């Protein structure tokens, strides 16, 4: 199968029914995407497929052929971090860190679709589970990355 992964085209030899998470972690050694529940409940395994947040633990590899795949490894680089990564650092979001790559990919999908999300948009998009309870900091970081004030009000454009 040919995949379009993190801006690169690659040929993979895998069972078409293999969950994408297994392919990423065990075959391609992209271990930034995490395994949590394996049943689409926690979001630790979230990646983007054609920009949308997708839970890779229940996504067969065959279903992503011909689509653009992005994992946490390609969200930003140390020299050029994504706005969300900068905001995550500024708001000191991560605690144990286990859920955070999935959170970031879900947030990236949200901002890709809705650049200035309301609280309702954030609640609807961020259904991932964090056992460390970082939800409020995640909300602040998403607003920061979106250029919004901490209370969710859009900042006025500078003249
Ligand atoms: S590991 Fe995929 S949603 Fe939990
Ligand atoms: S930071 Fe520990 S589970 Fe979210």
What is d(CA 98, CA 130) in angstroms, rounded to the nearest whole number? Answer: 8
How close are the terminal C-alpha atoms of the chain, in Å?
A: 51
CATH code of 83-145, in short, is: 1.10.150.120
Chain segment 37-56, per-residue pLDDT in tens: 999 999 999 999 999 999 99
Ligand nearest to the CA of 106: 1
Tokens 């259904």 belong to 127
CA of 42 to the centre of ligand 2 (A): 11
CATH homologous superfamily of 2-74 equals Beta-grasp domain (3.10.20.30)
Enter the tokens of residue 126: 């961020």
Cα(135) to centroid of ligand 2, in Å? 9
Q: How far is the CA of 157 from the centre of ligand 1 (A)?
A: 39
The domain locations on the chain are 2-74, 83-145
pTM score of the predicted model = 0.94
Atom of ligand 1 nearest to the CA of 41: 3
Strand-pairing partners, residue 148, are 154
Q: Which residues neighbour 41 within 8 Å (Cβ) at sequence distance 6 or greater? A: 129
pLDDT tens readout for residues 115-150: 999 999 999 999 999 999 999 999 999 999 999 877
Nearest CA to ligand 2 atom 4: 130
Alpha-carbon distances, residue 101 vs 72, 74, 119, 152 (angstroms): 6, 11, 21, 23
């Amino acid at each position: 199968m040919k995949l379009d992964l993190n801006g690169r085209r690659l040929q993979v030899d895998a069972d078409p029914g293999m969950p994408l998470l297994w392919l990423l972690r065990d075959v391609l050694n992209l271990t930034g995407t995490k395994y949590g529940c394996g049943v689409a409940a926690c979001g630790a395994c979230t990646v983007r497929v054609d920009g949308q947040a997708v839970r890779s633990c229940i996504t067969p590899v065959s279903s992503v052929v011909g689509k653009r795949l992005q994992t946490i490894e390609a969200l930003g680089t140390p020299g050029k971090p994504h706005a969300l990564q900068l905001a995550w650092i500024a708001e000191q979001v991560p605690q144990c860190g286990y859920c955070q790559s999935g959170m970031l990919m879900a947030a990236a999908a949200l901002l890709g679709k809705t650049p200035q999300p309301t609280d309702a948009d954030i609640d609807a998009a961020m259904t991932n589970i964090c056992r460390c309870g970082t939800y409020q900091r995640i909300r602040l970081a998403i607003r920061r990355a979106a250029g919004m004030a901490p209370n969710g009000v859009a900042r006025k454009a500078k003249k």
